[in-house]
Amino acid sequence: MSHEDDPPLLTAGMIATGVVAVSFSGPIAASTLAPALAVALWRNAFGAAAGAPFTLTRRRAELCELVQDRPQVLGSAVLAGVFLAVHFGLWIPSLRLTSVTASTALVTTTPVWTVAVARLRGSPVPRAVLVGVLLALAGVAVVTGVDATASARALRGDLMALAGGAAAAGYVACGESVRRSLSTASYTLVAYTTCALALLPVCLITGTALWGYSARSWAQIGVLTLTAQLLGHSLLNRALRSAGATTVSMAVLLEVPGAALVAWVWLGQAPPLAVVPGVALILTGLAVVVRARARSGPRQGAEEIDTVTAATL
């Protein structure tokens, strides 16, 4: 074990705590009475504010260099924040239209979309990855097919969650390049701030109320920021150096059954039995994709999970 590695028990505890933390994301966002778009804006604004003191003091030189001398890197970080805004702007409202289980499963299809982006860039795709993609897409077809027969509202929520997963792939693609030369603290500050600023005009144009909520709603947004935006992201990224990208990526998939369980116990929203086979196919396919990509490029996997955890949790 290197001097930077954490003890195995501590690493396992961080992963378990991180997965539990992010599992509250969907249920909290679905249950709060605050408008969905406002929830998306405030969780990123609060996340940026929470990290700003550390970043502005400990990473000030890096930020100054980024603004003054590295316009291309800054532009990529800003673009990542725009993709993040699209992701949250689609996914959080989808939780109000379809079940937490279906929405969370569909938004986690980000690895499928990152494969599509890689393919469009001309990168070779291993056969095992294609098998995983096909399994996940079959699961998507099952989930959306079930909801299509149930209600147009649920289907609309499914499609929004799926598009949110695709937007997260854009966030990952931009973040992978930025994270090669920029610290996590500086990157997330730029991305979260951009995300909140991008969502602001959307909220204003749509007439979304940005304040005047009950104390309970503000508390829920605060807990959402603390758990998914800060605690889950931080712990899972810390666990990366000891557990590796493949293990952490697999663990992140447990958010889906975790969110379903939280929604069941807390909200009384039992997972629709008809979508369970589709969710199982999605998770199986994503697991195959993660393992296959880890074999083909461990470093890429580490960069991807470092950026995707902030987007999809």
Q: Write out the DSSP string of 208-264.
A: ---S---HHHHHHHHHHIIIIIIIIHHHHHHHHHHH-HHHHHHHHHTHHHHHHHHHH
CA nearest to 39, candidates 92, 87, 91, 90 = 92
Q: What is the pLDDT along the chain (313 residues), one digit of tens a residue?
A: 444 578 999 999 999 999 999 999 999 999 999 999 999 999 999 999 999 999 999 999 999 999 999 999 999 999 999 999 999 999 999 999 999 999 999 999 999 998 888 888 888 889 999 999 999 999 999 999 999 998 999 999 999 999 999 999 999 889 888 988 998 899 999 999 999 999 999 999 999 999 999 999 999 999 999 998 899 887 887 787 788 777 888 888 999 999 999 999 999 999 999 999 999 999 999 999 988 877 766 444 444 554 554 444 5
Q: List Cα–Cα distances, 207 to 37, 96, 188, in angstroms.
A: 10, 18, 28
Contacts of 272 (CB under 8 A, 6+ apart): 99, 101, 102, 146, 150
The predicted pLDDT at position 192 comes to: 95
- H helix or E strand, kind and range, residue 161: helix 152-178
pLDDT of amino acid 301: 47
Q: How far apart are CA 298 and CA 66, in angstroms?
A: 27
Whole-structure pTM value = 0.91
The whole-number pLDDT of residue 313 equals 53
Coil, helix or strand at residue 1 = coil
228 burial level (CB within 10 Å; 0-12, 13-18, 19+): buried
Other residues' Cβ atoms within 10 Å of the Cβ of residue 288: 20
Q: What is the distance between the alpha carbons of residues 175 and 77, in angstroms, rounded to a whole number?
A: 7
CA angle 240, 22, 229 (to 5 degrees): 80
Q: Can you give the pLDDT at residue 207?
A: 98
